[in-house]
Structure formats: structure tokens, C-alpha cells
Structure 1
């Protein structure tokens, strides 16, 4: 297996000054086969991975589905009665997981979401922007705050602790969400690059490396992790050796496409499961929000993150791949092209 083209491509972006640092990791059979850090980072550096967080948090919901504590057809209000206000009484868990629940822009400041009482007040105050189940629109942060509250109610634990105790801890991974300030060493600071320089105030994601935001553990995008952490998490989704998930539920989450509404930004069917994106066999996989490599099989699943974060697994080859960076650009075409290049080179390793 020749890893040089992949590593060289990642190094070029750093050496050319487009990125301050990045990491990449490739895993197979439950073990890392490559883990590289480039630029102002080491393999101990952790990165803000933005929406790569989403499936990690959803994986706790998959456990609760397997434990029969909740069903995808359940109304959110069946478990969080306060949520029913302002016409949201019919929203189902499935719709929340598929980004079809109708409140994509509902606000939740990190400090409010981290406080159980304030979180519930905010959830209750939200209103619908359109009829649930009628379209797809990416819920950047709102949907996963609902999942966080649901996890708290069904487990009796803080959602950040539940994730650590139920998933990342058993997998031998460090705590990824909701780190105290004394646990926040080695997090790569977010850096504006390219067209984003001098425009940091225009992008709220630049707050995600602040100690208070890291502590809040924003469930839709606030995890901090190494590329190795992510690649190994995806290995567990392909081969659940520890039995963390019910096999039927895990199979559903990693393969059963429940939403094919078009993505209003990308113009392709979203191919969403209850927490992941599946590559699919229509030839559009490189345009879906997981940054699949060109040689990924139709069975590949994953989820990307803002500003070029990549995470996927391919059951056909057994490979999982993660790429993370702390360079935030305003040129989304350049970020997308960069992710496509490294992802395609990783997919060729199979």
C-alpha cells in the first residue's frame, strides 16, 4: 500500500501556505495503518471537527433504539413534552435524524444548550419554518440539540457524559465532547486562511475553539478529535466487536437510506440514513456531504464537516479515512476540491 501520494497531497496544501496544519488517518481491521500530522501539528494535536461530530452523537441514539427505549416513529414530544409548543407536536425522531424536521435555523447558543433548564426553554420556544417531512434542509445545529436532550432524558445522564460512557470510552477513545478547560490541552486554534482572513467575525464557527464553547460540547459540531480517533470510530461502525449497538439498528444506520430529497445547495439526493450519508450507486457520491473518494463503493458511508473535514468508511474495502484541518477558508470551492483530492487518494488504497 503506497501512502505517499495521499500524504504528499496533504503536505502540499500546508507547504504552499493554504493550511496551517492538518492530520489524516487511514484504518483497517480495527487498527490504524496510517496516521500523519503536517504543519503546526503533531499526532497528539486535536482538531475542531465540526459536523463530523453528528454521527458520533447519533450513535448514542442508535443504542437507545436498540434498547427499545425509543423508536424512530416516536414523536419527540412523547419524550420531551415541552418540545410540543409552537406547533412542533408532530415532529418525529426520524425527521430529526434526517434533517426533515422543519426547524433548520432554530437558535441555540452554546451556553444555553449546555444548561439543561435553558436548553429545554429554547427547545420549547422554537417554531417550524416549514412542514416536517416535506423537504430536506441541513439543520446545522438545531437537530442535534434535540438529540442531546433526548439522550439526557432516556439515560438520566448528561448527554456529553453519556457519549463518553457508552461509546467513546468503551472504544478506547478519549472524551471527544464537552471537555473541561483542564482537559483542553493540544487543541489546534482555528486560523483564517485565504479569503477568510480578516473576516472571522462573519463566521460563527471561529468560536468553536473557545474554551467555553469546547466545554459546552455542541452536539452538532463541537467535538474535538484527532484524525485517528475518527478513523477508529468508523472502524467500529463496520465491525462492532464490542457489541455496542444492536446489529439491526447499526445496519439501518450505516446502509438504509431513508431520505432522498434533493440537497438545496448541492442539487443531488442527500442519501441520508438515521445519522449518516451513504455514497449510493447513482454516480453522484463525490458531491454528497461526506466527501467520498471517487473510488469509494456505493456502500460507503460517512459525514463531512465544515471547512474540509472528511470522515467515511467503506465496507467493501474495510478502509476508514479521516482528514481534519484547522484552516478555515471562505472559498468553499477550494475547500471542496482539497477534500475531494485527499479522499479520492485514500479511496484508491483499497
Structure 2
């Protein structure tokens, strides 16, 4: 079991950002502290070198904290190795939580008639029609129903990560594992790369440039893009393989989904070439504060701090259910999807209890970003331990559950809990 050294004094490795008075938004200090204690319990598992959590209620940041180290306290690091404390401002790779950002951009471009999610991918990239892929639509890519979930290992060739002609050829040669639309099969990497090339084709610019110009820059985001600038690579927290070493069949299962062994994917994620590159399904870099702020934009129907980015109708379509707790062919779990987002539910939900209407996205099992409009809530939790399965997994799930319990629905305020 690969675990970190957990200090006895957790306060010594905890940093707190600016937080509003929770009373102003219908909460209490005790509510917030119970949420934070669930995060501390997860950190005590020793699986995550760093954990950051940000919770917004009615737009006010009521919790913005980090615990652990950005680097220097991994399972294989020496006790005397220099340690860098994680803070709420520490950027971290968010892996598949990137997909929610990409989906938002695709729907925005649809709203502006730059592309249409109902169109076939081959309408924009004609050579994609090879090997029986001519009928695959952009909406099927967004909802993980395109039938091309498994990327080849060469998709992770870091020397060619930004070689878009090479990446396109990989997409053109891909062969569907089932008829498009027939079943849901999570596309861990392949869907994002494909959407990026559609965006390049219709705009003449990289998806990173389009995201910055259309969303990030108007709203003043510092991070929350695909990778980072070369000067910022050393600011990004390291990710670490943790938890029980993976063995078949779990390792085989995840290697097929990712294209490489999960431990190798974790090591790749720390490589400067990966962090400088663009992988719109996997290499977003953000802070918990910025990621929760991104979902606050979505909770507000496409407007934030007086700046309107998109129409509320666009978001209603983007979050409309495409599959209801269908067992995903790749993940082997029942997950409800819209065109780009994982959906909440009354009983089974990643986002806590009674979260119909909530939506967001998971990242490498232990990263979660979401908004729950009924609770006027937007939240993000980012961790740096890459454990696919570990005994204390329930502690991770307890964090969104605790948030859901402590933050009442807006209509319930004053009526008792």
C-alpha cells in the first residue's frame, strides 16, 4: 500500500484562503467545519499528498482550504526531502474534470453557430469517416456514445502531444468497438482530442486559444486551461501513484481505458511536455477555487460577475439527460450523462444525497467538481493521490455527501432541515 506520511498536527499543513461569513448565506460556522472535517478524514487516509477544497454558496466562498504538500511528501519521497506546502492557490492537474470545461466551450460554440452538436464529426473532418465512423456525431462524443473509447498508447507520445496532424491521423484510423449510439462507453482521452480538432477546423485556432478568448480571459481566470505556460510548470503540484498497486483485472481494465497503465499515466502527468500540452479531456490545470468558480458561472446560467458568456438555454440543453444510470461499458458503473457532464440523482449520485439537477465531472476517481443549483452551491475538491481503488474510498464519497447534508436547498432555508 503506497501512502504518505501524515503529520500528527494537521493544522501545521493546512492553509486557509479568504472565506465569507457563512451566516450571510444561510449556513453556520459549524456547518462549514463539519464539511472540512470530512476532508481532513480523507487526508488522514494517507492516500493524498495534497487536498484542496472550495465551496461556494450563493456565490460566496464559505470554504477555501488546502491540506498537505504540493511536492516532497509522496509515498517514495525521503523523510528529509524538501517539502512544499499546498495552498488554495496551488494549481493542480484535474485530469478528467477537464471534460466539463471542454463541454461548456463546445456548447458555447454551438450557441454561436460556429458548429452544431447534432452534426457528424465527418462533416468537419471528412477523413474521420474511415473504418465505419461516418455516422458519429459531436453529441455522441460528448455523451460517451461514439464507440471509440480506447486511445492507442501512441496518443501519449509526449514528443508529439501538440502535433495535431499526428493526433488527427490516430483519430482517423480508430475503429469503433460498437455501433455509435448503441451504448455508453466512457471516453477517457479520445473524445477530448477529437473535439479539439473539430474546434481547430472550424475556428482556425487551437482549443486552448478559443477557451481563453471566449471564457477565461473575459472572466479573469488565472488557470483552468489546458496545461500551463512553460514558466508555470514548476508551480503545478505533483501527482503521485498511491494506494494498492494495481493488478489484473483492474490494471488491464484501466490500461485499456487510458491507453497506458494508470501509474505510467500519473508519471506522464508530471512531465513538463504534458503540462505544456493540450489534452482537452485530461490535462486541465486549475485550483479548487477557480474550478468551483467555473461551475458558479454555469449555476448562474452563463453569467458571472456581471459578464454574460452564454445563454441559459444553452446550459439547459448541455445538462439535459442523455442516459439514466446506464451501466457504462468502460467503467462498469451506472452513471447518468448529459452531453458533457455527469449528472446527480435522488439516490445514486457522486454529488451527495438528493442532488437531482446537480451536474459536474469526476477526475481520476478522486477529483470532483460540480454545481447543485437547488442548494445555490458550486464546489470543487482536488487531490494529488492517484489511487483507483483503496480501502478508504468511502471517505472520498463522504465529502460531497457531507456538503449535501450541511448545505440545505434554498427553498428549505427557514423551514427546518
Global fold match (TM > 0.5): yes
**Residue correspondences, number:** 340
Partners of 2:179 and 2:45 lie apart in 1 by: 47
Give, in angstroms, the shift of residue 17 of structure 1: 2.8
What residue number does 1:253 align with?
A: 318
Say if 1:196 and 1:330, in contact at 8 Å, map to a contact too: no
Query: Aligned match of 1:20 in 49, 68, 72?
Result: 49
What residue number does 2:338 align with?
A: 273
Give, in angstroms, the shift of residue 130 of structure 1: 1.1
Partners of 1:116 and 1:16 lie apart in 2 by: 41
What residue number does 2:405 align with?
A: 348
Give, in angstroms, the shift of residue 20 of structure 1: 1.3
What residue number does 1:211 align with?
A: 272
Residues 263-288 of structure 1: CA deviation (Å, up to 9, x unaligned): 244543x321111122134x222xxx
1:33 partner SS: strand
TM score, norm. by length of structure 2 = 0.77
Task: Quickly say closer, same or farther: Cα 1:202–1:25, change in 2 above 3 A.
Answer: closer
Give, in angstroms, the shift of residue 13 of structure 1: 3.2
1:184 partner SS: helix
Residues 70-112 of structure 1: CA deviation (Å, up to 9, x unaligned): 2222110001112111211111111111101011103222543
Task: Quickly say closer, same or farther: Cα 1:234–1:153, change in 2 above 3 A.
Answer: same
Partners of 2:333 and 2:240 lie apart in 1 by: 30
Give, in angstroms, the shift of residue 137 of structure 1: 0.6
Query: Aligned match of 1:262 in 292, 313, 327?
Result: 327
Which moved further from structure 2: 210-219 or 323-332?
323-332
Matched, 1:181 2:230: yes
Partners of 2:238 and 2:168 lie apart in 1 by: 31
Give, in angstroms, the shift of residue 66 of structure 1: 0.2
Partners of 1:153 and 1:333 lie apart in 2 by: 45
Greater Rg over alpha carbons, structure: 2
Query: Aligned match of 1:151 in 175, 185, 199?
Result: 199
Say if 2:32 and 2:62, in contact at 8 Å, map to a contact too: no
Matched, 1:109 2:173: no
What residue number does 2:117 align with?
A: 72
Within a 5 Å distance, the mapping from 1:129-168 to structure 2 comes to 129-168=177-216
Say if 1:196 and 1:328, in contact at 8 Å, map to a contact too: no
Partners of 1:67 and 1:341 lie apart in 2 by: 40
What residue number does 1:49 align with?
A: 94
What residue number does 2:79 align with?
A: none
**Greater share of strand:** 2
Say if 2:299 and 2:373, in contact at 8 Å, map to a contact too: yes
Give, in angstroms, the shift of residue 197 of structure 1: 9.3
List structure 1 segments (4+ residues) > 6 angstroms apart after TM superposition.
197-201
Partners of 1:227 and 1:45 lie apart in 2 by: 9
Say if 2:244 and 2:390, in contact at 8 Å, map to a contact too: no
Partners of 1:110 and 1:341 lie apart in 2 by: 37
Residues 186-228 of structure 1: CA deviation (Å, up to 9, x unaligned): 2111123231499996533311121111111211111111111
Partners of 1:262 and 1:330 lie apart in 2 by: 18
